Amino acid sequence: MAPMTAVGDRMHALVERLYPLCRSITGDGVRATLDIVGEYVPLQVHEVPTGTRVLDWTVPQEWNIRDAYIADTAGHRVVDFAASSLHVLGYSVPVAATMPLAELRGHLHTLPDHPTWVPYRTSYYTPQWGFCLAQETLDAMPDGEYEVRIDSTLADGHLTYAEHVVPGQVADEVIVSCHVCHPSLANDNLAGVAVAVFLARELAQRSPYYTYRFIFAPGTIGAITWLARNAERVGRVRHGLVLACAGDRGRLTYKQSRRGDAEIDRVLQHVLRTSERPHHVTGFTPYGYDERQYCSPGFDLGVGSLTRTPYAGYPEYHTSADNPDFVSPETMADTLAVCREAFAVLDRNRQYVNLSPYGEPQLGRRGLYDSLGGRSDAKQAQLAMLWVLNLSDGEHSLLDVAERSGLAFDTVAAAADALHGAGLIKA
Amino acid sequence: MAPMTAVGDRMHALVERLYPLCRSITGDGVRATLDIVGEYVPLQVHEVPTGTRVLDWTVPQEWNIRDAYIADTAGHRVVDFAASSLHVLGYSVPVAATMPLAELRGHLHTLPDHPTWVPYRTSYYTPQWGFCLAQETLDAMPDGEYEVRIDSTLADGHLTYAEHVVPGQVADEVIVSCHVCHPSLANDNLAGVAVAVFLARELAQRSPYYTYRFIFAPGTIGAITWLARNAERVGRVRHGLVLACAGDRGRLTYKQSRRGDAEIDRVLQHVLRTSERPHHVTGFTPYGYDERQYCSPGFDLGVGSLTRTPYAGYPEYHTSADNPDFVSPETMADTLAVCREAFAVLDRNRQYVNLSPYGEPQLGRRGLYDSLGGRSDAKQAQLAMLWVLNLSDGEHSLLDVAERSGLAFDTVAAAADALHGAGLIKA
Amino acid sequence: MAPMTAVGDRMHALVERLYPLCRSITGDGVRATLDIVGEYVPLQVHEVPTGTRVLDWTVPQEWNIRDAYIADTAGHRVVDFAASSLHVLGYSVPVAATMPLAELRGHLHTLPDHPTWVPYRTSYYTPQWGFCLAQETLDAMPDGEYEVRIDSTLADGHLTYAEHVVPGQVADEVIVSCHVCHPSLANDNLAGVAVAVFLARELAQRSPYYTYRFIFAPGTIGAITWLARNAERVGRVRHGLVLACAGDRGRLTYKQSRRGDAEIDRVLQHVLRTSERPHHVTGFTPYGYDERQYCSPGFDLGVGSLTRTPYAGYPEYHTSADNPDFVSPETMADTLAVCREAFAVLDRNRQYVNLSPYGEPQLGRRGLYDSLGGRSDAKQAQLAMLWVLNLSDGEHSLLDVAERSGLAFDTVAAAADALHGAGLIKA
């Protein structure tokens, strides 16, 4: 595995490369994003036609945009989509008009509290048009006429999403989901995409137990579309993680699944706690990212969410200040490391049954016990074997053993391997 | 609704009016009390004959008293029932005799630690007679002969209790019970009676969901009589509250039902906590007021008890110092307000089932969602809808939603109304 | 019962008497130990032949030793088994040789951190020989040739253990188990043996409810042998306690059974807490003493362990410093007292069913209630009756009542006796 700084730099380079693209819940920006992701991991790209019913929703018309600006009477572009994809209200209907500033104001969005930042705004399901700009830009615009133009199209087309699968030893699946619908916002969610991509590459190298499915889809409608089209697969999803806001400099936050005690919840909390990283765990809330859909009561999947600073928890959230400088190689590498460690635990976590449950089996004659009794410093490995034997009653997993014994999960898993090798436990 | 001070004053006036009457577990004092209560709310009065078997008990003979005194040789009444109904041991058998103080002492009850207070004592089931007086009165009584007279009758008659029903939308009942057997004691329990009366009047104005049954009955034997005579109705009692000591100046105390997690327990605790009133919650104990009977293991009803300073928790308890000055209009109004708020929550608390449980339903096309996405200050009402949708799985009530989300119950209930109106959830 | 100091002294005398014997998991040292124990309580001694299969184990060859020493060229014994049974590695194979110190060193065990102490070491299942000695003894041994001799035999024979039974009113059993395989170590476990012996003598005097079975057996293989030979009896074992390290001057430690909430766990914790002794409670761990076997997942008996300073928790553990001075009459008497109190609770703990569960039964007419109502200082006995009546629903034991009410267990048990006598509850 590449050193942490190297993989952090590579993830950051991917964020920078994806940053300029104008993504939305449909359209060519998503396709261009997936093209680039596809250079790192092979993708299966799905195109779902406008009008397709997906659960309670309908795939909307596809939105594409080529140009947009507000120009003064001298023809100078005071707001220009070419400078930032955030300048246009997402899903703006086309417009070509000239109007006085007073009329234009109703279509302008700013952040008065952060006068140099451009907000991110959308209107997916109500037809309207608008521009987002810095308050100081607006303040500098003299009254008078302005030419406004949005060269966009809203037309029947497709919703685009992609999957990458790392095959496992079993068909049971772990899903890793990240939204790809946000335009030029780095932390939310290009950092999540980058961590997912490099996590997938690492997993492929270690022949995992579970089959890992990475889902790159637009938020809400994309997850809903995936769920609608994978009704039978959902039954095989054992665990899942939504990755978002994976690169800011805040401490890690794990948001539990709706169940609160799903295995993914316990694994993430175990890894965060035992790694002694500063972190925060929050209960499930029905807002945030696509855990909303995976954890809706009809599905109620064991899907948590890992972020650094959580959804809407930082001033730069959904503004032009969420740019590539806002995310760091080190924090993305740290987020990736937590995923790596957590999935290593999840992948090895099993419930075993002690095949010799009456009294302790004689470990010594199987070469599993230090032959010289009476040493007061009992070894961790031997303790781990005793713990695994004692709790392998079909109701406790290795993670249970690690948490109850206080031993490291790796020590417990190695003990289970030794006992399994000696025929003393079965999975 | 009348302003709080007004209703407090009116409750206090009722306490003062009821105060002089000599109540006991039977007799005309209870009837006179119910006559006055009946001026405020219509009552169904029940008369249960002496000798009637009620559960493990038997309705005792009826006790009535006309006069009682201890007079000195000069004919001066040193202790006079006319001055306070507390002066006679409750259920005293008649006596007319002259005896020296030394012999009389065995029939006198005082409070040496509070020499100016008269204690309250009874002997319902063991025939005897006695007087209660201030220690300082006793100390001033010279040795010598005294005339003692108690003009009481113990004879077959009736036990009297009353009910007032506020009809609801469903036959499921909430009972509100308060004891009416104590003579001149204001907090215990005329304040409880007064709060119950005005609570009943308010409930009648709002067409409640549940049917609310107010029980005005003598303690222990009265509640037992009601339970014995309402065996079939008990199955419809969903919740209940015993009101006592409702007017002293201490903080509120909620005593949980025997179950400890009945809905009434959760509602009262929620309202007390979220209203930020100083308060105290205690676990169930099998002593106190008639929750003892409602929460006996055969019934085990979800009946809690609301008091200010709890049973036997203040020095004035069961003494002449528990007089109308001991209770205040403000605290009675506050107790009433907690009941009002708690029953408002109880009455609206439901479990709903999300009819669109797979993914989130599209709120926008139903006019239930702010159309302009991306606002970081998500609205409380929308959060409440998401929470109700997410937890409406047939296992969570609106109170559960409020507690888990941290949102106000009213906000959650309003969200449920909106979702119900849109056909997204069903009760 | 003898005063505490007397019984403490008698237990300490037993420890001193047993101390010099060279015990092991088999052999004449165990037999001599049981002979002495048998002078205090009648024992049923079992001899199980070498080669007998017991659960996953096989009874090993019997080990006996007559003499052992290291002598210098002058014939002076620098290490002599006659001085302490600890000097020989337990289960040493015989040896008679002369060798230079350099070669001998590989067979010598010392404690460099405690240069005056002799360690305790064994090698039951790997044939080898060795000596244990003080580091300062070793340091004083000049290079040169040494005569080493261990006059031991390892041959087919028997494993020896013993039982003492105090018959109870029911066949359900409580087992008290202590290991008898350690040579000259006082706290571990002669103190445990002594407490068990005197506990058995006291129990016999009070006609207990349960049948109490005391097991004196070598650690691990002895408990495994008992379990293997008592497969049907195990089903009658309701509770159990392993006694070890019962005499050092540390605070008491109760180690929970694997279940964690077995009745024995609750009883011991209740007695330790309410007696206000300094103590410590630890969760189950699959190492320590024979609770390892009783709590293996196939048996999962409700067997806890009572010690003072727990297993391996003191520097003197498994060294010559664990001598009779290390244990005190007072602490052994205190350990015995806790056992006495705990078994008194365990023996009286029952679940009752209230035969008059609808409302409170009228205690007064049964002579169970103070006839003069209104006393604010309700009596503990009456409170206890109300609590027992209220919680006797077939789901709560008297211990539950004591813990929920805060009343003393004895008060609760006496109330249950009174109610049972009045026919109000049944067991």
B356, B372, B391, best to mutate vs chain A, most A CBs in 10 Å: B372
* Residue pLDDT, tens place only, A399-418: 999 999 999 999 999 999 99
> What is the CB-side half-sphere exposure of residue C87 using CA atoms within 13 A?
21
* pLDDT beyond 60 at C129: yes
* Residue pLDDT, tens place only, B4-59: 569 999 999 999 999 999 999 999 999 999 999 999 999 999 999 999 999 999 99
Amino acid in the structure at residue C335: T
Q: Which structure tokens are listed for B406?
A: 């941290």
Closest CA to C24 of C123, C120, C119, C90: C90
Q: What was the pLDDT predicted at A114? A: 98
* pLDDT beyond 60 at B327: yes
The C-side interface with A (CB below 8 A) comprises 55-57, 90, 119-126, 220, 223-224, 227-228, 258, 283, 285-287, 292-293, 295-300, 312, 317-318
Shortest CA gap B238–chain A (Å)? 28
Coil, helix or strand at residue A243: strand
Amino acid in the structure at residue C2: A
Shortest CA gap B300–chain C (Å)? 9
The A-side interface with B (CB below 8 A) comprises 55-57, 90, 119-126, 220, 223-224, 227-228, 258, 283, 285-287, 292-293, 295-300, 312, 317-318
Closest CA to B70 of B98, B46, B34: B98
Q: What was the pLDDT predicted at C4? A: 56
CB atoms within 10 A of CB C95: 17
Q: What was the pLDDT predicted at B173? A: 98
- Inter-chain touch C56–A359, beta carbons under 8 Å: yes
* Residue pLDDT, tens place only, C344-373: 999 999 999 999 999 999 998 998 876 444
- Let me know how long chain C is: 427
CA distance B402 to A34: 41
> What is the CB-side half-sphere exposure of residue B168 using CA atoms within 13 A?
23
Tell me the percentage of chain B whose pLDDT exceeds 70: 97
Which residue in the set A358, A371, A391 is minimally distant from C227, CB to CB? A358
- Determine the distance from the C-alpha atom of residue C250 to the mean position of all C-alpha atoms in its chain, rounded to a whole number: 16
**CB-based burial of residue A96 (10 Å sphere; 0-12 exposed, 13-18 middle, 19+ buried)?**
exposed
Chains that touch B (3 or more CB pairs under 8 A): A, C
Count residue pairs from B and C with Cβ separation < 8 A.
82
**CB-based burial of residue A277 (10 Å sphere; 0-12 exposed, 13-18 middle, 19+ buried)?**
middle
Q: What was the pLDDT predicted at A373? A: 44
Q: Could you say which DSSP state residue C384 is in?
A: H
Closest CA to C159 of C245, C219, C232: C219
Q: Which residue of C has its CA nearest to A361?
A: C56
Rounded to 10°, the helix A4-18/A28-37 angle is 160
- Inter-chain touch C293–A356, beta carbons under 8 Å: no
CA distance A342 to B140: 84
Q: Is the dihedral of CA C258, C263, C264, C267 positive or negative?
A: positive
Cα A326 to Cα A66, A186, A188, A315, C47, distances in angstroms: 27, 7, 10, 11, 77
**CB-based burial of residue B347 (10 Å sphere; 0-12 exposed, 13-18 middle, 19+ buried)?**
buried
* pLDDT beyond 50 at C339: yes
Count residue pairs from A and B with Cβ separation < 8 A.
83
Q: What was the pLDDT predicted at B374? A: 43
CA distance B247 to B267: 21
Which residue in the set C354, C372, C373 is minimally distant from B297, CB to CB? C354
Coil, helix or strand at residue A52: coil
Which residue in the set A357, A376, A387 is minimally distant from C286, CB to CB? A387
Q: Could you say which DSSP state residue A387 is in?
A: H
pTM metric for this prediction? 0.93
* Residue pLDDT, tens place only, C148-175: 999 999 999 999 999 999 999 999 999 9
SS (H, E, C) chain B: CCCHHHHHHHHHHHHHHHCCCCCCCCCHHHHHHHHHHCCCCCCEEEEEECCCEECCEECCCEEEEEEEEEECCCCCEEEECCCCHHHECECCCCEEEEEEHHHHHHHEECCCCCCCCCECCECCCCCCCCEECCHHHHHCCCCCEEEEEEEEEEECCEEEEEEEEECCCCCCEEEEEEECCCCCCHHHHHHHHHHHHHHHHHHHCCCCCCEEEEEEECCCHHHHHHHHHCHHHHCCEEEEEEECCCCCCCCEEEECCCCCCCHHHHHHHHHHHHCCCCEEEECCCCCCCCHHHHCCCCCCCCEEEEECCCCCCCCCCCECCCCHHHCCHHHHHHHHHHHHHHHHHHHHCCEEEECCCCCCCCCHHHCCCCCCECCCCCCHHHHHHHHHHHHCEEEEEHHHHHHHHCCCHHHHHHHHHHHHHCCCEEC
Q: What is the layout of strands, in order, in the sheet containing C393-397? A: C393-397, C351-354, C425-426
Q: What was the pLDDT predicted at B379? A: 75
Phi and psi at residue B219, in whole multiples of 5°? -65, 150
CB atoms within 10 A of CB A183: 20
Phi and psi at residue B23, in whole multiples of 5°? -85, 155
**CB-based burial of residue B191 (10 Å sphere; 0-12 exposed, 13-18 middle, 19+ buried)?**
buried
Q: What was the pLDDT predicted at C373? A: 44
Average pLDDT across chain B, whole number:
95
- Inter-chain touch A298–B392, beta carbons under 8 Å: no
CB neighbour burial string for C114-152, b if at least 16 within 10 angstroms, e if fewer? beebbbbbbbbbeeebbbbbbbebbeebeeeebebbbeb
Rounded to 10°, the helix A4-18/A329-348 angle is 110
Confidence of residue C375 (pLDDT cuts 50, 70, 90): very low
- Inter-chain touch C296–A391, beta carbons under 8 Å: no
Say if residues A98 and A145 touch (Cβ distance below 8 Å): yes
- Determine the distance from the C-alpha atom of residue B70 to the mean position of all C-alpha atoms in its chain, rounded to a whole number: 35
Confidence of residue A379 (pLDDT cuts 50, 70, 90): confident
Closest CA to B210 of B411, B345, B46: B345
A24, A56, A232, best to mutate vs chain B, most B CBs in 10 Å: A56
Strands (E) across A209-257 are located at 211-217, 237-243, 252-255
Say if residues A87 and A132 touch (Cβ distance below 8 Å): yes
Q: Which residues in chain B are contacts of A122 at CB distance < 8 A? A: 372-374
Q: Which residue of C has its CA nearest to A372?
A: C123
Kindly state the average pLDDT of the residues C97-121.
98
Rounded to 10°, the helix B380-391/B398-405 angle is 120
CA distance A225 to A26: 12
Q: Which residue of B has its CA nearest to C361?
A: B56
Q: Which residue of B has its CA nearest to C380?
A: B287
Which residue in the set B56, B121, B312 is minimally distant from C356, CB to CB? B56
Say if residues C150 and C88 touch (Cβ distance below 8 Å): yes
Q: Could you say which DSSP state residue A142 is in?
A: -
* pLDDT beyond 50 at C376: no
Coil, helix or strand at residue A325: helix
Going by their DSSP bridges, the two strands C237-243 and C173-179 should be labelled as: parallel
- The region that residue C406 occupies, defined by phi over 0 for left and psi between -120 and 50 for alpha, beta otherwise, is left
Q: Which residues in chain A are contacts of C90 at CB distance < 8 A? A: 373-374
Which residues make beta-bridge pairs with B158?
Answer: B49
Confidence of residue B376 (pLDDT cuts 50, 70, 90): very low
Gyration radius of chain B over CA positions: 26
* pLDDT beyond 60 at B1: no
CA distance C193 to C178: 6
- Inter-chain touch C123–A392, beta carbons under 8 Å: no
* Residue pLDDT, tens place only, B96-127: 999 999 999 999 999 999 999 999 999 999 99
> What is the CB-side half-sphere exposure of residue B217 using CA atoms within 13 A?
32
Kindly state the average pLDDT of the residues A222-244.
97
Q: What was the pLDDT predicted at B77? A: 97
Chains that touch C (3 or more CB pairs under 8 A): A, B
Shortest CA gap B290–chain C (Å)? 10
